[in-house]
Amino acid sequence: MSEVRRREDEEETIEGIEVHHRQVLVNGVSLHIVEAGAGPLVVLLHGFPENWNAWRRQIPFLVKSGFRVVTPDLRGYNRSDKPLGVSAYRLDILSTDISKLIFALGEKTATLVGHDWGGVIAWSVAFTYPEQITQLVVINAPHPERYIELLWRTRQFFKSWYVFFFQWPWLPEKIIGWNRFNRVRNVLMKDTLLPNTFDSEHIEAYISALSMPGALTAAINYYRAGFLYGFSLIRRMPRVNDCPTLILWGEKDRYLDIRLLDGLNTKVPHLWVERYPDATHWLIAEHPDRVNHAILKFLENTNE
């Protein structure tokens, strides 16, 4: 039985490409998705504090290159359901969302592309449901096991200060939400190397989505659940990811140590890494054309 549940179909045009909005019921939650194109399925997973809009510059390019593109609002974000409780955002549950989404879309396999939290989830899906993932692209998101290896004994500990801050109840929500999310606005405006990487329209769209009831707590609960449950879940994951994997990495990332890339070839046998010395954590927004062409080249070269 199909798990697709339509609420209200909507359409819009992005760079001449018609995209469709709808709701999909998977794993007990309704996920808002945006889809376009026809061909092999590519699923794009966003990070914090964004939503599907993070991929606006990738969707038209990939569709024109012959792919079916689907980008969901992850659970807790924007127009997707926002279940209560920290445990609803465990990494295994987030990964199952994406596994079931692929099947709900009528496909058995997909390419996953993930940034930030979306990248962490993409790693986890590739480990846990390897038969479903044909190719994996991770953009400034740590390999989960490598992250644990570095967290307690390198500068990654200090770069992860916000993860520890997010463990407090209610206080992070108060501070982040203060003055109409001005801290989020400042990060997106000032945390990049290129001016106007995020235009005011998209920043306000992200803030509007975070302002929805329960949305900010849901987004922070990713970090709370990661800290409470993630270490034991990651240690139980399979140790090797066999599918072709491309890592794109902005080297000026304030949040992730470049040494997270060291030694990954022992964990990921079929690995390609592209580093961008002139980019930050927000690589897909800073250099969308370079990212697009890197993804396409990888997909073409590793297509079975």
Residue pLDDT, tens place only, 82-109: 999 999 999 999 999 999 999 999 999 9
Question: What proportion of the chain, given as a percentage, has pLDDT over 70?
Answer: 96
Domain count, the chain: 1
Question: What proportion of the chain, given as a percentage, has pLDDT over 90?
Answer: 84
**Residue predicted with more confidence, 39 or 240:** 39
Report the pLDDT value the prediction gives residue 304, as an integer from 0 to 100: 63
Report the pLDDT value the prediction gives residue 28, as an integer from 0 to 100: 97
Which two tokens mark 62?
A: 């990939």
Report the pLDDT value the prediction gives residue 98, as an integer from 0 to 100: 98
Report if residue 2 sits inside a domain. Answer: no
Cβ–Cβ < 8 Å for 117, 48:
yes
Report if residue 126 sits inside a domain. Answer: yes
Cβ–Cβ < 8 Å for 108, 134:
no
Which range among 28-42, 51-65, 105-119, 142-156 shows the weakest confidence by mean pLDDT? 142-156
Which residues lie across from 14 on neighbouring strands? Answer: 17
Given the structure tokens 């203060």, which residue do they identify?
178
CA–CA distance, 8 with 92 (Å, rounded to integer) = 29
Bridge-based pairing of strands 271-276 and 245-250 is parallel
Q: Please, what sign has the CA dihedral across residues 194, 179, 183, 52?
A: negative
CA–CA distance, 56 with 16 (Å, rounded to integer) = 12
What's the pLDDT band for 236 if we cut at 50, 70, 90?
confident
Which two tokens mark 93?
A: 């549950």
Report the pLDDT value the prediction gives residue 5, as an integer from 0 to 100: 41
Report the pLDDT value the prediction gives residue 239, as an integer from 0 to 100: 65
pLDDT at residue 240 tops 80: no
Report the pLDDT value the prediction gives residue 135, as an integer from 0 to 100: 97
CA–CA distance, 89 with 221 (Å, rounded to integer) = 6
pTM for this model (two decimals) = 0.95
Report the pLDDT value the prediction gives residue 6, as an integer from 0 to 100: 39
CATH number at residue 244: 3.40.50.1820
Cβ–Cβ < 8 Å for 168, 147:
no
Report if residue 5 sits inside a domain. Answer: no
For residue 292, what is the enclosing H or E element?
helix 288-301
Report the pLDDT value the prediction gives residue 91, as an integer from 0 to 100: 95
Report the pLDDT value the prediction gives residue 232, as an integer from 0 to 100: 83
Average pLDDT over residues 292-298: 98
pLDDT at residue 171 tops 80: yes
Residue 2 CA to its chain's centroid (Å): 25
Report the pLDDT value the prediction gives residue 231, as an integer from 0 to 100: 82
What's the pLDDT band for 241 if we cut at 50, 70, 90?
confident
Backbone dihedral angles phi then psi of residue 274, each to the nearest 5 degrees: -120, 125
Report if residue 113 sits inside a domain. Answer: yes
CA–CA distance, 123 with 142 (Å, rounded to integer) = 9
Report if residue 124 sits inside a domain. Answer: yes
Best-predicted range by mean pLDDT among 149-163, 215-229, 233-247?
A: 215-229
pLDDT at residue 187 tops 80: yes
Which two tokens mark 250?
A: 């902005």
Report the pLDDT value the prediction gives residue 196, as an integer from 0 to 100: 87
Report if residue 1 sits inside a domain. Answer: no
**Residue predicted with more confidence, 133 or 241:** 133
144-151 and 117-128 helices, crossing angle to 10°: 120
pLDDT at residue 303 tops 90: no
**Residue predicted with more confidence, 238 or 69:** 69
Report if residue 3 sits inside a domain. Answer: no
Give the structural domain span for 129: 10-301
Report if residue 4 sits inside a domain. Answer: no
Average confidence score pLDDT of the chain: 93
Active site residues: 116, 223, 281
